[in-house]
Amino acid sequence: MNSSSIVLAAFTTFVAVSISGRPALAVEVAEPVGRMAFIRGEVTLDGKPVVEGSPVSVGDVIQTQLGKCTILLGQEHVVHLDAESNIKITQRLVENGRDETLLDLKYGRTRALVRSEPNKKRSFGIRARGAVMGVRGTHVYVDNPADPDLPQRFMTVEGLAHVTLREQAPVVLRGGESIETINRTDSGRAPAAAPVVRLPKKKVRELVREVAPPPKAITTGGDVRNFAGKPISVAPTPVRPLPVMPGSLLPLDPVADSVAEIIIKGEIIRK
């Protein structure tokens, strides 16, 4: 490069910095924390069509129309999303023995399988408007209708979980137990919860089958305990779980119609 070229390059850099007032910043790309393992029908990621195997990151919004999907988060969690549903990966942090995940179900139905490890501090939650379901080593189901006047349903298929409503103590749900909540948005009061009920096994199986996209892949607690490090056969391409990767710890970002700001403490759950 000759001297005139060097002067011109330096002048161009000076002008660029002077006009903006500060140097240009590099655009940060979010680290993937999981992948879309199975897709059937219309599914979008941040409003754009998505294909099987696509990575997902903290802040991503997955929405289904006339379709269903399965999301793998690291080697620990499997999330099934039913048709006409919208879910956001709000928080995912894996470091120093900690594993923290928070999903915001804006509307629709989801099932999640969470693998437990005795020596790991794990916090996994699904937030749906004024309620949050904290999970630890459990298979759970959440139904959050788009219409706020319809009741929400939280159910533990297997294991143990708790549901927390604003200004109320956590309600413990064991396998086969369910609770419904009513969002009293018109009065501005906290959501109300009906008593815990034990559903017939047939009803539990029906709800489980409705959400999982066929062919069934990782749909039971036994499946999720066995899938780490092994190929997962999903529709029809074998997909290996991603290695555990750290995500960014973000401030809690409730969905627009949320009436509660609740932090999940998975440690309060005891078997």
Instruction: Give the mean pLDDT of 259-271.
Output: 27
What is the C-alpha to C-alpha distance for residues 56 and 253, in angstroms, rounded to an integer?
Answer: 17
Structure tokens of 127?
């937030």
pLDDT tens column, 152-204: 999 999 888 999 887 778 899 999 999 988 765 555 555 666 789 999 999 99
pTM: 0.69
CATH architecture of 32-265: Sandwich (2.60)
pLDDT tens column, 46-102: 999 999 889 999 999 999 998 899 999 887 788 999 999 999 999 988 777 778 899
Name 66's Cβ contacts closer than 8 Å, sequence gap at least 6.
41, 42, 83, 84
Bridge pairing between strands 98-114 and 121-128 = parallel
Sign of CA dihedral 140, 39, 238, 104: negative
On the question of pLDDT at 208 being above 90, the answer is no
DSSP 1: -
DSSP 21: S
On the question of pLDDT at 104 being above 90, the answer is yes
Report DSSP letters for 39-82, one per residue. Answer: EEEEEEETTEE--TT-EEETT-EEEEEEEEEEEEETTTEEEEE-
CA distances, 269 to each of 76, 170, 178 (Å): 18, 10, 17
Q: What is the mean pLDDT of the chain?
A: 70
